[in-house]
A and B are shown apart, each in its own frame.
Chain A
Amino acid sequence: MAVDAKQTRAETRHELIMLEPSTQTPLSFQGRGQGEGLTLRQLHVSCGYRYSEGFHLALDFMASSGITALFGPSGCGKTTTLELIAGLRQPAEGSIGVGDHALFDSSLRINFPPERRDVGYVSQDDLLFPHLTVRENLQFGMRRTNSPRLELEEVASMLELSELLERRPTTLSGGQRQRVALGRAVLSGPEILLMDEPVSAIDERLKHGLLIALQDIVSRLGIVAIFVSHDQVDVRQFAEHVVLLDNGRVAAAGPTIATLDEAFRLGTSSVASPTNVVSVSEARAADGVLHAKLGVNLAVLPSTSVSARADHVTIAFRPSDVMLSRHEVEGLSVRNSWRGAVTQIVAAADRIFVQINVGEMIWAEITNEALHVLNLRVGDQVVCLIKTSAIQVIA
């Protein structure tokens, strides 16, 4: 199986993996209502860029209104991709455009400067203007738009910046600075919002609230948002679509979960292992824990503050924390015991990943030896055992 995966990787690395043959454009949001009669925007990037060190970046992907993640190992060209779209770097050839409006086109000799591209860019280190207050930083890009679609006060309260408006960036913490950078980009009224690891300096407690606020802003404005991330959990949870970059090329693109799982199955090196981010329903507190439904199974989750209000809860756990058993086991302290059928078995290097349908698809990592002893085959019924404490309730 490992050999299969490697062969397929060689074939698929340079092209888009079309996961839904019915969809013409892999990243389109056709049929997804954006509400308020907003027209759908579509960004297309099809260009090459040469680094002075000789490394070559060849990009070919599209992104529609909504959140698209740019995912890949470090040094694969993610940040450069954002800079090319923002106009901070110039491609060697090709074109970049929104709808039928070209931002860059080497054959037509079009190259709009950054200030005329309507992009909002949040760089990895926030790059706030140190000589301006937080309020002045937020206002810096606001004069571009004649009719601001968002108010400063509104964005400030969404990003929990209201108390900091008169402070200087140098007096803020890393997380606060990143939030100001995010607010500044959003307030400039962009058509395209580019974010380079926008939540890397923000602590877990605020991170998910922030990403949800971001999701809200993006869908309200109907803009194209692209975020670079190395965190598969964030990508799986917040990006509707994903573009996988691998060694300067687009390895795969499409709906997030399916694309990541497929890329992993095919052995794309940017997805060395899958991870589990699933949503459960009907969450309610019970005896110091949280009970929720996962298909026909009962999920027992650690109790957290986020869960109190949410009917739908998103949880994450590592495949290595999932134990597999052929039979129901009695008398265990492990409270999660989910039944399901094996849907696929993937060998990645010396590790075995088993995908099980327990109402949602989840991955379990087991050893090669365990695979043989249990004699697992696709279609077999198994029981997945996961300790409550191994599960993270993320939203």
Chain B
Amino acid sequence: MNWSPFDAAELQALWLSLKVSAAALAMTFVPAVALGWILARKRFRGRILVETIVMLPLVVPPVVVGYLLLIFFGRRGFAGRLLKECIDLDVAFTWLGAALAAAVVGFPLFVRSVRIGFSAMDARLEGMARTLGAGRLRTFLAVSLPLCLPAIVSGAVLSFARGFGEFGATIMIAGNIAGRTQTVPLAVYSAMESPGGLDRAWRLVIISIVIAAAAMLVSEWLSMQSRHGQKRVTNSSC
């Protein structure tokens, strides 16, 4: 592998991190869009409670999130036992556990972005679609979703990036098993501890920064697009 500055173990960590983040995104996409829409559109009892619970992983130490996940999804945890018995699936100390950790910490960012997107959209456009004969589903798919697509993609990118960098919760539920659950951040930690691992740490740090910066740029650009679009709409309707 002359073309690559990374050795096999580093590439493995990188690949695992991408896989974990992508799986986390797949898990959270539908619930995040749905919850974002509900929080933007619906007024119901206990809304603040729901919002608080959803946003909690943003402020709670990731280690705490990981601990709770381990209690719940571990071999003796309620969900862990259920999954093992029903579909013979291990979550704790597998890459799925890392994906679950990434999903939980990325979820609030995703929901937040989607909610802001739906709030910024003129809800009366949905009413207008209904008077034109579109039912709830067609209204959502043909009007709400396309209009909020920039916000949704931006939320997805942010939560992907957050999942990519996840450390505390991951090490709790998935451990730090090289080649199996050792994502890039865990690999950096391990490299720092092993003698002569500084070069490896540097390479992984740089690739992490590049991926995170790219995600932020994409997210910013999309939210700019979205704001620009909304502004043009309101301007010309005056």
Contact = CB atoms under 8 A, between A and B. Distances in A.
A and B: partners?
A: yes
Interface of A: 86-88, 113-115, 117, 119-121, 123, 125-127, 129-131, 140-141, 143-144, 169-170, 172-174, 177, 184-185, 188
A177 B232 CA distance: 13
Contacts of B238: 125, 174
B146 A141 contact: no
Nearest to A178: B237
A113 B128 contact: no
B125 A129 contact: yes
A170 B127 contact: no
B41 to A, nearest CB: 14
Contact of A172 (B127, B146, B229, B236): B236
Interface string B54-88: 00000000000000000000000000000000000
A115 B233 contact: no
Nearest to B230: A130
Given A123-B124, A131-B146, A140 B132 contact: yes
Given A127-B122, A129-B125, A129-B143, A119 B131 contact: yes
Contacts of B129: 129, 140
Interface string B120-161: 001011011111111100000011001100000000000000
Nearest to A194: B131
Given A130-B147, A131-B146, A170 B232 contact: yes
Interface in B203-238: 229, 232-233, 236-238
A170 B130 contact: no
Contacts of B132: 115, 120, 140-141, 144, 184-185, 188
Contacts of B122: 127
A114 B127 contact: yes
A195 to B, nearest CB: 12
11 contacts: A113-B130, A114-B130, A115-B133, A115-B134, A125-B237, A130-B147, A130-B233, A131-B146, A169-B236, A177-B236, A188-B131
B68 to A, nearest CB: 41
A130 B229 contact: yes
Given A88-B127, A127-B122, A127-B125, A115 B135 contact: yes
A76 B124 CA distance: 21
Nearest to A119: B131
A215 to B, nearest CB: 22
**Most chain A beta carbons < 10 A, residue from B131, B147, B232, B237:** B131
B133 A188 contact: yes
Given A170-B233, A170-B236, A177-B237, A127 B133 contact: no
A88 B124 CA distance: 9
Contacts of B236: 169-170, 172-174, 177
Contact of B124 (A127, A141, A144, A185): A127
Nearest to B121: A130
Interface residues of B, number: 22
Nearest to B233: A130
B130 A87 contact: yes
A121 B238 CA distance: 19
A144 B133 contact: yes
B217 to A, nearest CB: 24
A141 B146 CA distance: 17
A131 B145 CA distance: 11
A175 to B, nearest CB: 11
A123 B233 CA distance: 15
Contacts of A169: 233, 236
A121 B131 contact: yes
B125 A141 contact: no
A121 B135 CA distance: 16
A169 B232 CA distance: 10
A115 B147 contact: no
A275 to B, nearest CB: 28
Contacts of A188: 131-133
Contacts of A140: 129, 132, 134, 142
Smallest CB-CB A-B distances: 7 pairs: A144-B133, A141-B132, A114-B130, A121-B131, A125-B237, A127-B128, A170-B232
A364 to B, nearest CB: 38
Given A131-B146, A131-B147, A170-B232, A126 B131 contact: no
A236 to B, nearest CB: 28
A184 B124 CA distance: 16
Which interface residue of A87, A117, A141, A173 has the most chain B CB atoms within 10 A?
A141
Contacts of A185: 131-132
Given A131-B146, A170-B232, A114 B131 contact: yes
Contacts of B133: 115, 141, 143-144, 188
A114 B129 CA distance: 9
A130 B143 CA distance: 9
Nearest to A125: B237
A169 B235 CA distance: 12
Contacts of A130: 147, 229, 232-233
Given A114-B131, A127-B237, A129-B129, 7 more contacts: A117-B131, A121-B131, A125-B238, A129-B125, A130-B147, A130-B229, A131-B146
A86 B146 contact: no
Nearest to B128: A127
Contacts of A86: 127, 131
Contacts of A88: 127, 130-131
Given A127-B122, A141-B133, A121 B128 contact: yes
A115 B237 contact: no
